[in-house]
Amino acid sequence: MAQIDGLPPLSDVIRNHELSAKKSLGQNFLLDLNLTAKIARQAGDLSGCDVLEVGPGPGGLTRGLLAEGARRVLAVEKDPRCLPALAEITAAYPGQLQVIEGDALEINPLEHLTPPIRVAANLPYNVGTELLVRWLTPKDWPPFWQSLTLMFQREVAERIVAAPGSKKYGRLALLAQWRADARIVMELPPEAFVPAPKVHSAVVHLTALEKPRFEADAAVLSRVVGAAFNQRRKMLRAALKVVGPEIEDHLRAAGIPPTERAEQVSLEAFCALAREIARS
């Protein structure tokens, strides 16, 4: 196996620092540095970018990002056991890696990053979707990031890139495709991880568009598609009752038959509905 840096193999790092994987933290580690370098390459040209990484763990993807030439990496890790292993990487790449111990859901990384910024992560499954939705739904656009390169369970990755009418089409597809281009760039079998999870995984690459495909308020759109797909088998006039008593009027004004089901409705029509609701 080709060396990507002068640091010890990840299996040694894990053994030396006794990093037995914790299920509660969604820990499934990547140990093949050629694979982590390949994932890092999917993030695009990193040379002039700061990279935000969530959950570096023993540092496999972190080392991939640095070996692929990232200007700086800011890594946010919740598990303090990983910090000594990450400190060895910081020492090998002086001034290029900053590690923050903490919960990515609570930390604001922006004060430590300089644009342009890309995000790359083998996300902990328990917080991955929550983080993605946050990154996709800021009030203002473009967001702080240029691109997101994220590992998910394959099932979640397929929901992000799903087209209208498909069973997997829902809130994640709409929010991702509203203001970004999203595609699956790699698939990984369970054996790529230690310990092996029960499911396949996939890397999704999202590029932020300059402006949204259709105008809408992020909070209203997010609430509407959340409610619509929460009861996806119901007609929209029933599923969206929670949004307000005038929902049938809003649906008609947006050109959506109130008897339609959510998975038949296009992104453009959902954005029109969000505008109608915001106007009222």
Give the one residue of 7, 28, 63, 148 binding ligand SAM; rule: CB under 6 A. 28
What is the C-alpha to C-alpha distance for residues 29 and 52, in angstroms, rounded to an integer? 18
Name the one range near ligand SAM by CB under 6 A: 51-59, 66-74, 166-174, 182-190: 51-59
| Number of chain residues interacting with ligand SAM (CB under 6 A) | 23
- Is residue 68 involved in binding ligand SAM (CB under 6 A)? no
Determine, following the binding rule CB under 6 A, whether residue 56 of this chain makes contact with ligand SAM.
yes
Smallest distance from ligand SAM to CB 232, Å: 29
**Residues 81, 25: Cα–Cα separation, whole Å:** 12
Q: Is 152 in the site for ligand SAM (CB under 6 A)?
A: no
Pick the stretch among 24-32, 159-167, 220-228, 240-248 that binds ligand SAM (CB under 6 A): 24-32
The H or E element that residue 15 is part of is helix 10-16
Taking the complex as a whole, how short is the minimal distance between the CB of residue 130 and ligand SAM, in angstroms?
A: 9
Q: Is 103 in the site for ligand SAM (CB under 6 A)?
A: yes
Cα 56 to Cα 75: distance, rounded to the nearest angstrom: 6
Q: Which residues are annotated as a binding site for S-adenosyl-L-methionine?
A: 28, 30, 55, 77, 103, 122
Measured at CB, which residue is nearest to ligand SAM? 55
Angle between helices 171-179 and 125-136 (to 10 degrees): 40
Alpha-carbon torsion (166, 170, 172, 176), positive or negative: positive
Cα 51 → chain centroid: 14
Residues 6 or more apart in contact with residue 81 via CB below 8 angstroms = 17, 18, 19
Q: Residue 174 CB: number of other CB atoms within 10 A? A: 25
Q: Does 105 interact with ligand SAM (rule: CB under 6 A)?
A: yes
Q: Does 124 bind ligand SAM (CB under 6 A)?
A: yes
Residue pair 154/85 in contact by the 8 Å Cβ criterion: no
Residue from 40, 67, 113, 127 binding ligand SAM (CB under 6 A): 127
Residues that bind ligand SAM (CB under 6 A): 25-30, 54-57, 60-61, 76-79, 82, 103-105, 122, 124, 127
